[in-house]
Amino acid sequence: MLNSTQPSQPKPLAWIRVCGDAPYFETEQGDSWIPIGQNDAITWPDFQGLFRRKDVARVEGHMAYLAAHGITCIRMMMEYGQTENRYLEKPVGTFQPNMIQFWDDLFRLCEQYKIRVLLTPFDTFWMARRWKCHQYNALSGGPCKSKWQWLTDEGMIMAIKNRFTFFIERWGASGVIFGWDLWNEINPLNAGKSLENLYQYIDQISAHIREKEMLLYKKPRPQTVSVFAPLQKKHAMDDIIFRHPMLDFASTHFYQTGSIDYPRNVNAAAVTTGKMVKEALQLLPPGRPFLDTEHGPISYFRRRRRGLPEAFDDLYFLHMQWAHLAAGAAGGGMRWPYRYPHTLTHGMRRAQLNLAQFARLIDWQNFKRKNLNDQISVIGPKVQVFGCGDAHQAIVWILTSADESLLTLSVPGLADGAYIVHFWDTLTGILSSNNIIKQDAELSIQCQMTTTNLALAIRRQL
């Protein structure tokens, strides 16, 4: 086994933690931090040039492009098993020099461009599809005989712990690692169909990671475990995903049938996203952040063998990210590309930059948001409203099928006082700002719609 001595790196980024007084994130230095990004992989176009250093300059240019578009986070698997030539270990416990070099280079670039990574140990989709070839399979000399025992086999658990240990020891000093997704789309079928076994898996892996981080660095990173949202409901997994005491934030994968996985109109995708965020927030303990860490037109991509038409996909992406943020989740959600090539479009990147600029208008570290989707009233043409707020701040996103209309919004829950309301175009940025005095039961705001959607950032002036 190669030793996991920390290589030479630039000055480490500050670690990320959950805010002490709000269900969002901050750096250990006390600065707000919002996860804005997407899923990516070792073998996909934007990062494949790092493998064996085939085109490091191209990858560095991509990282600079991401940073310039407000990207703060990428979700990646330590190993992406669509082929057999990117295994992290071969055999189990022997970490491959080419893969170590890949991660050394990626961490260096992430430090340079201040982009963090949410890490999960495997891409379980391809791991299941190609299990007979995987190094953890007993047929290949690994510890586990069956994929139905992934989360219970003692040898497999030890190998997973060792994989996390390697990352913690070699790269863990840096704040590049935002947090740990302990298992990608956790499933009781991989644990003897037992929810109790899922609890025990999280208990074991979570405790192991925290023990190692505390021993080496005197502080832990945020932890979550992801789930395919329809599976969460089918198997009654709410206690595991949203309320497990060892986890720090909750994450699900928004692949709702029809409106998200095979979209026919962008408004329906937004409405479903807003509804799913609202349902998730109702299941969370106070102060625990929530975000969607995977979504996209998965069924359309599989059936059609191509991505959505680009102009439609850009709007679908924009609508989902704004519904996600406005309903009370952290950031805009993390798209799985489902395109050829397998990357996000320039239009999606512009939408992320727009969201990142809007995010500066909110005091996230003191935002004790509650979902307000169904509580904000509207006088005027029929619209869809997504919102969240507390006694001092609110975010509202308005979606309509027709522009050039005048609306009056009433936002509940805000304390009396002076407010500044920023009106935000989700394509071009800020439109205007108004000062409003609240003395009635609700804050009343007039909105002139000039496009089919509009965002509002509302903050009390102290």
274/377 same-domain check: no
pLDDT exceeds 90 at position 88: yes
Q: Assess if residue 28 is contained within a domain.
A: yes
131/211 same-domain check: yes
Task: Determine contact, residues 332/321, Cβ cutoff 8 Å.
Answer: yes
**Domain finish residue from 366, 382, 411:** 366
Q: Assess if residue 9 is contained within a domain.
A: no
Of the two residues 350 and 229, the one the predictor is more confident about is 350
pLDDT digits (tens, 9 = 90+) for 23-73: 999 999 999 999 999 999 999 999 999 999 999 999 999 999 999 999 999
Q: Assess if residue 181 is contained within a domain.
A: yes
User: What is the model's pLDDT at position 83?
Assistant: 85
pLDDT exceeds 90 at position 450: no
d(CA 44, CA 63): 14
Task: Determine contact, residues 337/301, Cβ cutoff 8 Å.
Answer: no
pLDDT exceeds 60 at position 4: no
pLDDT digits (tens, 9 = 90+) for 386-435: 999 999 999 999 999 777 789 999 999 999 999 999 999 999 998 899 99
113/158 same-domain check: yes
User: What is the model's pLDDT at position 166?
Assistant: 98
- At residue 2 the predicted structure's pLDDT band, cuts being 50, 70 and 90, is very low
Q: Assess if residue 145 is contained within a domain.
A: yes
158/182 same-domain check: yes
Mean pLDDT of 91-118: 97
User: Going by C-beta distance under 8 Å and a sequence separation of 6 or more, which residues neighbour residue 397?
Assistant: 322, 323, 325, 326, 385, 386, 387, 426, 453, 454, 455, 456
Q: Assess if residue 270 is contained within a domain.
A: yes
pLDDT over 90, % of the chain: 89
- At residue 110 the predicted structure's pLDDT band, cuts being 50, 70 and 90, is very high
Q: Assess if residue 3 is contained within a domain.
A: no
356/433 same-domain check: no
User: What is the model's pLDDT at position 403?
Assistant: 73
- At residue 1 the predicted structure's pLDDT band, cuts being 50, 70 and 90, is very low
Q: Assess if residue 301 is contained within a domain.
A: yes
121/233 same-domain check: yes
Q: What range does the domain containing 424 cover?
A: 372-460
Can you give the CATH number for the domain in which 188 is found?
A: 3.20.20.80
pLDDT digits (tens, 9 = 90+) for 193-220: 999 999 999 999 999 999 999 999 999 9
For residue 2 the two structure tokens come to 């190669």
Mean pLDDT of 361-375: 97
245/110 same-domain check: yes
DSSP 77-136: ES--TTSSS--SBSSTT-B-HHHHHHHHHHHHHHHHHT-EEEEES--HHHHHHTGGG-TT
pTM: 0.95
pLDDT over 70, % of the chain: 98
